[in-house]
Amino acid sequence: MRPSHGVPLAGRMSSTTRAIGWFCLGFMGLTAFRVGRAGSTAAGVAYARGALGAEPVMPLPLRIDLDQTKVDLGRRLFLDSRLSHDNTIFCGSCHHLELGGTDRRIRSLGIGGATGDVNAPTVFNSGLNFRQFWDGRAATLEDQVDGPVNDAKEMGSNWPEVISKLERDRDYVRAFRDLYPDGMESANIKDAIATFERSLITPNSPFDKFLRGDRQALTEQQLAGYQLFKAYGCVACHQGVNIGGNMFQRFGVARDYFADRGHVAKSDLGRFNVTGLERDLHRFKVPSLRNVALTAPYFHDGSAATLEQAVNIMAKYQLGRTLPSHDRDLIVGFLRTLTGEYHGEPLR
């Protein structure tokens, strides 16, 4: 259903309204799925296949139209260590494209071996997030670039220093002059990097193929895992084209995660560090689940080493549930179908 100006009604709902709606549908779906599965696994899967109507998850676009010259320039800058003060750290240091867009560390390392405050999220599909950083302090990818360049623990530099180094490179000077009327300015450097990052979409996961109509793209077990993912209410926060990345949520809705974990740091305060509002305490941007099988460790604190651990923690602290190991394993099996392709090659 669409309003007269063409914007889907679902897109106009608040994140809370969408979350409540999907959770309620999930509760009903869990009941129905249990009934279907009581007879046999095949009966449960048959229910799942029959229930695929309006889905909470949408497939990634197969391509995004971008200025390829800007993409190429942005790629060079993304891999250029001259953006850091000591010429040792580049964007790809924390966001390895061959490692699922992360560095697979609990905390990333910056200049001089400095340890960061949070786990580095994946750069793949980051252009589809509604905000950047765990606390959402950057509204756009362009704004996000400012963070690591100026952060003392990451690149420890500043734009005048970066530009003074890049201006010594004739190829860069020529490329910026050809693309931007005002040449090499910080805004244009950020624009080029952000354009490259927007190109980092990973379509054609098995689940995307399934959503596009290939009903054989998932096994019965994977499909059962998807049905449980919906039925337990995981889709209250993980939905849309990026399967997350479109809302903030408190870490510890059902139980106090931080009281149980202990040693609360400033980085654990989440969105509160940005707004200063009590309601934003421990609220974080919900991460995308795209390629999640490749991006361990999980959460802003890197506290979960495996998908199994991450699903158990989410069930306990977000849903107030203890999942049967069988259900958890089916959900994990579904999550592994979210690994897509980059430039036509499967991510690994």
List active site positions.
154
Q: Distance between CA atoms of 301 and 129, rounded to whole angstroms?
A: 20
Q: Distance between CA atoms of 242 and 139, rounded to whole angstroms?
A: 17
Burial 217-227 (b: 16+ CB within 10 A, else e): bbeeebbbbbb
| Residues linked to residue 346 through DSSP beta bridges, in sequence order | 341
**φ/ψ of residue 23, rounded to 5:** -65, -45
Residues whose CB is less than 8 angstroms from the CB of residue 186 and which lie 6 or more positions away in sequence, other chains included: 159, 162, 163
Q: Rounded to 5 degrees, what angle do the CA atoms 300, 302, 303 make?
A: 110
Q: How many helices (H) and strands (E) does the chain have?
A: 15, 4
Coil, strand or helix at 85: coil
Q: Distance between CA atoms of 194 and 126, rounded to whole angstroms?
A: 10
Q: Give the tokens for residue 222.
A: 């994977």
